[in-house]
Chains A and B, each alone.
Chain A
Amino acid sequence: MTNHYEPTEKFVKSQVQLRPGDPPLIKFWKISKFFPQIIANNKIDLDIFPGEIHAIIGENGAGKSTLMNILSGIYQPDEGEIIVNGYGHHFASPQEAISIGIGMVHQHFKLVQAFTVAENIYFGEKTKRVFISQKMMRQRLEILFDQFGFYVNPDAIISDLSAGEQQRVEILRALSRKAQILILDEPTSVLTPKEIKQLFVSLSKFRQHGNAVIFITHKLEEVLQFSDTVSVLRHGQKIGTYKTEKCTAQFLANKMIENDRKSISSTLTKSKNLYQEQSPFIHLSNVSVKNSQKVTTLKNIDLDVYPGEILGIAGVVGNGQRELSQIITGMTKPSSGKIFLKNTEITKPHPKIFAKAGIGHIPEDRLKTALMSHLDISHNLLMRTYFKEPVGSSFFYSPRKAYQKALNMIKNSQIHIHDMSSQINNLSGGTQQKLVSYREKEITTSLLVAVYPSRGLDIGSITQMQEYFFKLREQNIAVLLFSEDLDEILTLSDRVGVLCNGELMGVMDANKITQEQLSLWIGGKKIDPLQSQ
């Protein structure tokens, strides 16, 4: 039964023939969206035609998600209009967008885990009926299955399904509400290669009915393989829309990444490559990590970090950055491989050993990992030093001195806080971030592991933070910088490494690395730079 609907057809390019003058299904007309300090979308014009699979690519923060959130009614544009069937629309809520036939499948599925597939699909549907029988839901589902070639067992509980199946449920839910345009936000990030193929075969069937698919992605290969049209966004602006047949990976990668980085990097003084004369501070040898589901999240990493360098790790989020940062701070134990700190092997990694060795850690999820959201500021500021004089000792802890020390820290760090007794989760994200980095400063004597440190900060604070990284480098302290912003990585780093699918694609000097090389590594293509030249 389950294989009954397994798509056997191959993925086919669009067969819907458009005549000249056929109107687009959707027209974005000068859409702009402003956030404080940031222009997320700047006068974007985009046409989506019936029967096409339209890929939207761009770096993190290029404005892809914002644009799609505007289309699906989550955000309202500050300028411009969305024109559907010749009429301008302003979607005040996702419900309005759905009623016009726009369905969105989010990267993180919004399903009720304890409900069955059928219940999830018809949950929240606008209907005049008070009751809806299981039988009827199933009948209506069968029609959908036949029409689009999707199949999921209607009686299965969501939490028992794989990620691919859950995604199919999300898509079916959009289809059951008569979606004409399906928006998929990074649909392939959770799927296996086989599931990816199935997904696009089904999508190609969907668009044969004259519907359109928009998908957001980072992966150039999928764009080239499955889309008909591709639009590139960069820094909130549309760079261009191209027919996929005429594109190459190189071409798209160049369009995605900005070209003016050299002007920035020349103004900053890079270190004089002194670091390589010293022995590495931390050395990973063939380190692999498996998560609780026995999936390998880091594969055979070999990495040296030298004192006095800034090593930037680039790559799309979720390709092993979290695991690598946790290995280097002792929070995760490697499943195989060895870790050396100053040439001595660490046989039993433990966060305390790494903290004692002077490794500071600004983790990705600051509120959950680095802070205690329901405790006050002094508790949070003393997490690293509560056992040290004058606040504490090997036995005692003085709340009064802790408060005084926290007060001093706040004064010195120039973080604006009105009420010392307020809970951490009542502070803004930027303030939380500043508190964590200031606290980690105190224990950082050899290496700072900073994971997405500029997230949630305004421009002024980012500059401050970057200056701080340079100051650390002058003191012969290493910085391991994880970032999703290539500009940031290339501006700050002495060496750049790229993670893709848990593999370290390579590490190169930042001066020597080319954009093409970087973008290919990020896309998962491992080509020896010497050979390609």
Chain B
Amino acid sequence: MQTYIRRLSIAPLSFVTLYRIFVFTIILLLCVLTAWGYGFHPLSLTYMILSVSFGTRVGLEGILLYVTPLLLTGAACLLAFRLWIVNNGAEGQFLLGSLMSTWVGLHCNFSGWLCIVLAGLAGIAGGVLWILVPTLAKIYAGVNEILTTLMLNFIATFIIIYCVTGPLAGSFTSSPIIPIHLPLLWGNVHIGILIALFCVFILAWVSTHTKWGYELRVCGASTQAAHYIGLSVNQYLFIIMLISGGLSGLAGMLEVVGTVHRLQPGISNGLGYLGIVVSILARNSFLSLIPSALLIAFILNTSIILQTQQLNNAITLIITGLLLLLIAIADELAHYQYIKIYPKQKEI
């Protein structure tokens, strides 16, 4: 009998699921052990986290408020990844989107819906503007977008700090409270979650049921094949990157106008970077963004609960980092199959 390992070009879904469950279990065990080390009873802490997250109104609201921007930044990263573009700049686009919509919110003299729509457009425009430079640099000069988008995040952070201490300064290091609000659905949960879900569903539909979605798949599959049937990959690259930026910008707008109501330096809270995690968890499917965003939102919400227990919330950073690392390993391992070959038995 011979045994050997072979790599499959597509990882079977069952393998992926198994490996991921294994990864989640490892992470859970690590968390429990850490908590134990701090002197908490692991089971009672787990029970507390679960009951607060899913059993109380505050917990559920927190999760839903986190899901909204995560869905959008996740969609932004996933969409770019369809053409093998890594949009590391969702964070910066998020910040610029929130800045532009704050500015509109503060200076808008109309009331009600029109102002919200204008703020939304401004948010999208901010995100688009922030990805425009990396896009043009990639198309015309072949500059790798991984670096340029990442660098622009830091610039965006400093622009926000400048604005909230300068032109848009309100109270201590934040802008004044903006007068417009998104309509609320349930408690603090605003209409933004519906917008985010709508965007995800639209993207899922467009990418499978339109001619444009097919062409996008061709461009992502092979540049040469796209050229062969007369598609210009750069054209799609341009559109995709701008939409990706716009989605992150929209997330920033919803965060400002819906949740925080003012601009402050830490507003993005890593939601842009977590978009990358969400999109990787979703494994190239727009609809899977929803469970992955829920998972990350749950982890983020947990950090708040842990803070109330005087536990350092750095644990969530460690968890998300560890999660990404282990998921990446698990997804690769899921490609491998262990094969046994039995020698042909001679007929007797």
Q: Which residues of A are at the interface with B, using a C-beta cutoff of 8 A?
A: 330-331, 350-353, 355, 361, 363, 365, 368-375, 379, 382-384, 386-387, 392-399, 423, 425-426
Q: Is the CB of B228 within 8 A of A369?
A: yes
Selected from B211, B214, B230, the residue in CB contact (under 8 A) with A352 is B230
Instruction: For the complex formed, measure the closest distance between the CB of A401 and the CB atoms of chain B, giving whole angstroms.
Output: 11
18 further contact pairs, Cβ within 8 A, besides A355-B229, A396-B209, A423-B9: A351-B230, A352-B230, A355-B230, A361-B228, A368-B225, A369-B228, A370-B225, A371-B222, A372-B217, A372-B222, A379-B218, A383-B218, A384-B229, A386-B211, A393-B211, A394-B211, A397-B208, A397-B210
Decide: A399 and B9 in contact? CB cutoff 8 A. no
Taken residue by residue from 178 to 216, chain B's Cβ proximity to chain A (1 for < 8 Å, 0 otherwise) reads as: 000000000000000000000000000000111111110
In the bound complex, residues from chain B placing their C-beta under 8 Å from that of A379 are: 214, 217-218, 221
**Assuming A392-B214, A397-B210, is B225 touching A372 (CB within 8 A)?**
yes
Q: Are B230 and A372 in contact (CB under 8 A)?
A: no
Q: Chain B interface mostly helix, strand, loop or mixed?
A: helix
Expressed in whole angstroms, the Cα–Cα distance for A263 and B213 within the complex equals: 53
Is the pair A396, B210 in contact by a Cβ cutoff of 8 Å? yes
Q: A397-B209, A426-B9 are in contact. Are A383 and B224 (CB under 8 A)?
A: no
Known: A361-B228, A369-B228. A397 touches B221 (CB 8 A): no
Residues of A within 8 A of B225 (CB): 368-372, 383
Interface size class of B (residues with CB under 8 A): 20 to 34
11 A-B pairs with CB atoms under 8 Å apart are: A351-B228, A351-B229, A352-B229, A355-B229, A369-B228, A370-B228, A372-B225, A373-B221, A379-B214, A395-B212, A396-B211
In the bound complex, residues from chain B placing their C-beta under 8 Å from that of A387 are 211
Give the residue name and chain of the B residue nearest to A363 (CB). B228
Pairwise interchain contact A399-B224, C-beta atoms closer than 8 A: no
Select the residue from A331, A353, A365, A393 with max chain B CB neighbours within 10 A. A331
Q: Report the minimum CB–CB distance from B10 to chain A (whole Å).
A: 7
Residue among B9, B218, B221, B228 with the highest chain A CB neighbour number at 10 A? B228
Shortest distance between the CB of A54 and any CB in chain B (Å): 39
Indicate if the CB atoms of B10 and A423 lie closer than 8 Å. yes
A331-B228, A396-B209 known; A372-B9 Cβ under 8 A: no
Interface of A is mostly: loop
Which residues of A are found within 8 Å of B224, using beta-carbon distances?
A: 365, 368-369
- A contact residues around B222 at 8 Å (CB): 368-369, 371-373
Which residues in B have their C-beta under 8 angstroms from that of A351? 227-230
Which chain B residues numbered 111 to 146 have a C-beta less than 8 Å away from chain A?
none
* CB atoms of B209 and A398 under 8 A apart: yes
A382: chain B residues within 8 A (beta carbon): 214
How far is A369 from B222 in the complex, measured between Cα atoms in Å?
Answer: 8
> Which residue of B has the minimal Cβ distance to A393?
B211
CB-CB < 8 A to B210: which residues of A? 395-397
9 closest Cβ pairs, A-B complex? A352-B230, A351-B230, A372-B221, A369-B224, A397-B214, A397-B211, A372-B222, A392-B211, A372-B225
Of all chain A residues, the one with the shortest Cβ separation from B226 is: A372
Query: Smallest CB–CB gap between B54 and chain A, Å?
Result: 36
Residues of A close to B9: CB separation below 8 A: 374, 423, 425-426
- Report B-chain residues with C-beta under 8 Å of the C-beta of A369: 222, 224-225, 228
User: Which A residues are in CB contact (< 8 Å) with B213?
Assistant: 397
Q: How far is the CA of A351 from the CA of B218 in the complex (A)?
A: 15
Measured in the bound complex, the distance between the Cα atoms of B228 and A397 in whole Å is 20
